[in-house]
Structure 1
Amino acid sequence: METLAVVLLACCVTGWFVLAGTDIGSGMLLPWLGRGDAERRLVLASFAPFFLGNEVWLVATAGVLVGCFPALEGELLSGQAPVLVALLAGWIVRDAGLWSRGRGPGPRWRAACDAAVTAGSWAVALSWGLLL
């Protein structure tokens, strides 16, 4: 039974990292991948089908981790509050930039949202690196 739980956790983590790597990596490289506003819109639209799907993998991973390995979850997250706060803050900033990019009044708004996506993506990636 433990082997099944480990395989399930590994599958969920792999699924999340593959799909999240697409949007986090694209967000980190957004200033270089899209030189103009139209190109940046295309870069952001390229991972739109995967954007919410990767969060389902993350919720499944958290459920397996908490349900099957509570001691590991406690060891992994104990003493990591500053890293977790940075991770969540970066995630919120990135998602806010992605969701509100097309809803603003003009090019300055889109540039600010692009900066939020880039900064948030870097914060998420660095926080995951520190956490793991």
Structure 2
Amino acid sequence: METLAIGLLGFFTAGYFALAGADLGLGMLLPLLGRDRADRDRIAAALAPYFLGSEVWLVAAAGVFIGCFPELEGELFTELLPVLVLLLAGWIVRDAGLWWRVHGGRVPDVMICAGSWTVVAAWGWALAEL
């Protein structure tokens, strides 16, 4: 049974990182790729399916991790609390920027870019800590 749980955890985590790589990469490069408002709108439209899909994969991976490995989850989350706070803060800023794009302006684009860089830096920090 543990082998199945580990396999599912690996499958869902790989699915998350495959989709998140696309949307985080686009978010990080938004200022360079989007020269005008129309370009940035097209990039945000291309980013949306990956953004929503990656969250589904992450929720599935978190469910398997928390449900099947509660002791490891407790140790890992306690040890990596500062990293997880940074990760969630970047994620919230990026998501808010994506949802607020309908109002226009440069602030949502800055939020998307800054949030994407923060999430990527936090994942790097988490992997370095492991």
Normalised TM-score (structure 2) = 0.91
Matched with 2:61 is: 61
Deviation, 1:75, is 2.6
Matched with 2:32 is: 32
- Higher mean alpha-carbon deviation, 65-74 vs 25-34, is at 65-74
Matched with 1:82 is: 82
Runs of 4+ in 1 over 2 A off after TM superposition: none
Q: CA RMSD in A?
A: 1.2
Distance 1:45 1:63 in 2: 28
- Higher mean alpha-carbon deviation, 74-83 vs 17-26, is at 74-83
Distance 2:9 2:85 in 1: 24
Alignment of 1:12-51 (within 5 A): 12-51=12-51
Identity of aligned residues (%): 60
What residue identity is the alignment partner of 2:64?
V
Deviation, 1:42, is 0.7
Deviation, 1:71, is 2.3
In the alignment, structure 2 segments of 5+ residues that lack a partner are: none
Matched with 2:121 is: 126
Distance 2:10 2:83 in 1: 22
Distance 1:38 1:61 in 2: 35
What residue identity is the alignment partner of 1:81?
L
- Higher mean alpha-carbon deviation, 95-104 vs 11-20, is at 95-104
In the alignment, structure 1 segments of 5+ residues that lack a partner are: 105-109
Distance 1:116 1:94 in 2: 6
Matched with 1:5 is: 5
Distance 2:99 2:84 in 1: 22
Deviation, 1:73, is 1.4
What residue identity is the alignment partner of 2:61?
T
